[in-house]
Amino acid sequence: MEEEETLRVPLPDRNKGEMFGIVDKILGGGRMMVMCADGKSRMARIPGKIKRRMWIKEGDLVVIRPWEFQDEKADVVYRYTRTQASYLSKNRKLPELLDVFGQ
């Protein structure tokens, strides 16, 4: 049996509408502007469940889930460390629009 390539980091779940994004600007109050993989800029918030566990800075790679009823807003689902982001970039898992972590 052939061995499948395994990734060490979680990827966005396309079935739930999740996508990659890069934090452009921190707005305060757990909110930020995120440049998304589809080319749109959305206001994202950190849900209360993960607010105190996740510290996000400008330039961080995140996974967001756009709201179903307001497409210009989203929730942050996951934040990648710099090491994880460069790993994804090296393995060509990031969209070219957001690939700023390369060599």
> pLDDT averaged over consecutive 10-residue blocks of the chain (103 residues)?
59 89 90 91 88 85 92 92 88 78 58
Note the maximum CA span of the chain. 51
Cα–Cα dist 101/66, whole Å? 23
Q: Which residue is associated with the tokens 């957001």?
A: 98
Phi and psi, residue 78, nearest 5°? -155, 145
Element (H, E) at 32: strand 31-36
What CATH number belongs to 14-92? 2.40.50.140
pLDDT of 1: 40
